[in-house]
C-alpha cells in the first residue's frame, strides 16, 4: 500500500495528525473539506509521485533528471510548483527586534514523503531524494488518470482540442476522452444518469444525448451535469475495461520512442548467444510484464459535479464497480458532497451483508440498494478531512466500520437546520 506525508505545502501546514504524518492511500481514498484546504493538492501530489514511480520502474525517466526537474517540470504539470515554502533568511542586522521579527515571519520548509512499492521519494530542505525499494514487493503497473474538475469544458466547447492554453491535465484528459469514444464497442452507451444514453458517431465524431422520450440533443448543448459526467464515465469505463494485456499508451508523446525501446530490449535478449533458451523465455516474460498495465488508478475531482443526488449515487456505484474490476485498482476522490459519503457508507454496509444473504429475494433487495459489484470492504476505505483554519488533516473516524456522521459535510447540513430554527425564533418574537 502506498502512503504519503505532506507538511508545509500550499494550504497544508502540519498535515496529517496521526501515524507520524503518514496517510495510507487505500483502494478507495476520499478527501473532504472546505474550498482551498488542499484536497486537490494532495491528489495532485499522489498522481505525480505515482506516475514518477511508474516512469522510473519502466525506464521512461532517469533518476537524476527526475531530481533536477521535479519542481519545474513535474510539479509544474499541475501548476503547484509555487506551493513550495522556503525559510526566509533576512540580511544580517544588529537590531535585535528586527531579527526577532524576521524569525517570527519565517516560513517552514516544505516536506513531502511518498513511499510506493518500488521507490521512495523524499523532498526536504529544497532537495528531492529517491531511494529504490529492494524488498520483493509486488508492483501493479498502473494506468493513472487524473480527472480534473474543469472536464465539462471539453463537452461544452466544439473542437476543444483546437483551444490553446488548456491546462496540461485537462488536455491529457481530453485526449483520453477522444480515444475512449473511438473505442466504444457500440454506438450507444447507457449513462448512470436517469434513463439517458450517449450516442456517438465515430465517423463524424459527434456525440448526442438521448432521453427516455427519444429526445436528442448534442452533448455540447446538454446540461452542465451531463457535460461533466459523460467524460468521467466514458474514460473511467474504458480504462477499467482495458487493464491488462495491452501496451501502456499513457505517455502518447513518447509512444514511438517506447516502441523502439521495447524492440531493442527484445532484440538484445534474442540475440544474446550466452543466454539459454529457457532464460530467454523467462526474460521475455519479465519484459512483457514490465510493459503491461495491471491496474487503473482513477483520481477524480468532484465526481458529484452538477449532479442530482440520485445521479451522484449511480455515478459513485459505477466508479466503485470499475474500481473492483482489478485487485490493484484505486479510486481517489475529493468531494464537497455529503451524499457521496453517505452513498459510500451504503456500499460498505452492503459489503457486510452480501455474504450473509441466504435467499434470492434478499439478494435482489440488496442489489436494488447497492449493486453487489459496487460494494467495498471498510478496511479498504480511508476518508480524510482537511481543515481550512489550521492546515491539518484528520482521518474520519468510523463506527463499526462505517464512516462517522461527525464530519464537516454532515455538520453543515445540521447547521442549516439550526439557522432555520433561529429564524423561527425571530418569527415568534415578531408576533
Last residue of one domain, picked from the residues 219, 250, 281: 250
Is 268 in the same domain as 242?
no
What is the enclosing helix (H) or strand (E) of 383?
strand 381-386
Last residue of one domain, picked from the residues 223, 250, 277: 250
Is 177 in the same domain as 97?
no
30 DSSP β-pair partners = 333, 383
Is 224 in the same domain as 257?
no
The answer to whether residue 146 is domain-embedded is no
15 DSSP β-pair partners = 392
Q: Could you give the 3-state DSSP secondary structure of residue 336?
A: coil
CA dist 371 and 281 (Å) reads 42
Is 202 in the same domain as 271?
no
Of 181, 9, 251, residue with least CA distance to 111: 9
The answer to whether residue 431 is domain-embedded is no
The answer to whether residue 92 is domain-embedded is yes
The answer to whether residue 148 is domain-embedded is no
Determine the pLDDT at residue 252.
38
Determine the pLDDT at residue 251.
37
Q: Is the dihedral of CA 67, 73, 78, 83 positive or negative?
A: positive
Angle between helices 338-353 and 408-430 (to 10 degrees): 120
Determine the pLDDT at residue 264.
76
93-113 as b/e, with b when 16 or more CB fall inside 10 Å? eeeeeeeeeeeeeeeebbbbb
Q: Is the dihedral of CA 355, 356, 358, 359 positive or negative?
A: negative
The answer to whether residue 333 is domain-embedded is yes
Locate 199 and state its grid cell.
450516442
Q: How many residues comprise the chain?
A: 431
Is 11 in the same domain as 119?
yes
The answer to whether residue 150 is domain-embedded is no
Is 406 in the same domain as 417?
yes
CA dist 339 and 335 (Å) reads 10
Determine the pLDDT at residue 424.
79
Is 220 in the same domain as 274?
no
What is the enclosing helix (H) or strand (E) of 55?
helix 39-58
Last residue of one domain, picked from the residues 271, 292, 313: 292
Determine the pLDDT at residue 103.
57
Q: Which residues of the chain, if any, have pLDDT below 50?
A: 245-255
For residue 94, what is the DSSP state? S
Determine the pLDDT at residue 107.
63
Beta-carbon count within 10 A of 155 CB: 23
Is 12 in the same domain as 114?
yes
Is 246 in the same domain as 369?
no
162-187 as b/e, with b when 16 or more CB fall inside 10 Å? eeeebeebbebbbebbbbbbeebeee
The answer to whether residue 197 is domain-embedded is yes
Is 195 in the same domain as 328?
no
Alpha helices in 245-296 (DSSP H): 255-270, 277-290
Is 240 in the same domain as 284?
no
297 DSSP β-pair partners = 144, 330
The answer to whether residue 202 is domain-embedded is yes
Overall domain count for the chain: 3
Domain that holds residue 112: 1-141+297-426
Is 118 in the same domain as 183?
no
364-395 as b/e, with b when 16 or more CB fall inside 10 Å? eebeeebbeebbbebebbbbbbbbeeebbbee
Amino acid at each position: 500500500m502506498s502512503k504519503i506525508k505532506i507538511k508545509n505545502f500550499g494550504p497544508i501546514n502540519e498535515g496529517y495528525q496521526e501515524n507520524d504524518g503518514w496517510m495510507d492511500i487505500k483502494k478507495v481514498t476520499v478527501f473532504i473539506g472546505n474550498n482551498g484546504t488542499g484536497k486537490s493538492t494532495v491528489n495532485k501530489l499522489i498522481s505525480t509521485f505515482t506516475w514518477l514511480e511508474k516512469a522510473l520502474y519502466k525506464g521512461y525517466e532517469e533518476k537524476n533528471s527526475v531530481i533536477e526537474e521535479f519542481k519545474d517540470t513535474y510539479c509544474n504539470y499541475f501548476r503547484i510548483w509555487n506551493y513550495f515554502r522556503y525559510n526566509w533568511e533576512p540580511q544580517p542586522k544588529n537590531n535585535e527586534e528586527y531579527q526577532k521579527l524576521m524569525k517570527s515571519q519565517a516560513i517552514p520548509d516544505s516536506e513531502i514523503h511518498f513511499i510506493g512499492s518500488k521507490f521512495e521519494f523524499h523532498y526536504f530542505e529544497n532537495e528531492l531524494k529517491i531511494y529504490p525499494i529492494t524488498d520483493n514487493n509486488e508492483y501493479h503497473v498502473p494506468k493513472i488518470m487524473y480527472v480534473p474538475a474543469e472536464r465539462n469544458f471539453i463537452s461544452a466547447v466544439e473542437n476543444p482540442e483546437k483551444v490553446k492554453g488548456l491546462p496540461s491535465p485537462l488536455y491529457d484528459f481530453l485526449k483520453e476522452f477522444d480515444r475512449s469514444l473511438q473505442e466504444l464497442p457500440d454506438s450507444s452507451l447507457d449513462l448512470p444518469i436517469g434513463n439517458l444514453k450517449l450516442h456517438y458517431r465515430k465517423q463524424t465524431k459527434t456525440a448526442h444525448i438521448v432521453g427516455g422520450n427519444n429526445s436528442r440533443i448534442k452533448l455540447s448543448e446538454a446540461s452542465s451535469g451531463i457535460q461533466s459526467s459523460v467524460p468521467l464515465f466514458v474514460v473511467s469505463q474504458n480504462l477499467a475495461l482495458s487493464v491488462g494485456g495491452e501496451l501502456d499508451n499513457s505517455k502518447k508523446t513518447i509512444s514511438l520512442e517506447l516502441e523502439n525501446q521495447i524492440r531493442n530490449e527484445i532484440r538484445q535478449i534474442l540475440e544474446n548467444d550466452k543466454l539459454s533458451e529457457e532464460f530467454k523465455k523467462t526474460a521475455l516474460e519479465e519484459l512483457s510484464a514490465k510493459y503491461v498495465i495491471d491496474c487503473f488508478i482513477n483520481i477524480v475531482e468532484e465526481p458529484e459535479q452538477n449532479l442530482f443526488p440520485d445521479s451522484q449515487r449511480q455515478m459513485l456505484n459505477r466508479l466503485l464497480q470499475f474500481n473492483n474490476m482489478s485487485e490493484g485498482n484505486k479510486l481517489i476522490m475529493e468531494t464537497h458532497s455529503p451524499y457521496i459519503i453517505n452513498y459510500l457508507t451504503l456500499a460498505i454496509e452492503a459489503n457486510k451483508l452480501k455474504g450473509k444473504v441466504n435467499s434470492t429475494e434478499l439478494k435482489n433487495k440488496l442489489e436494488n440498494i447497492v449493486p453487489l459489484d459496487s460494494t467495498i470492504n471498510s478496511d479498504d476505505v480511508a476518508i480524510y478531512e482537511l481543515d481550512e483554519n489550521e492546515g491539518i488533516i484528520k482521518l474520519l473516524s468510523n463506527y463499526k466500520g462505517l464512516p462517522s456522521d461527525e464530519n464537516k459535510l454532515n455538520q453543515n447540513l445540521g447547521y442549516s437546520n439550526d439557522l432555520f430554527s433561529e429564524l423561527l425564533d425571530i418569527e415568534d418574537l415578531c408576533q
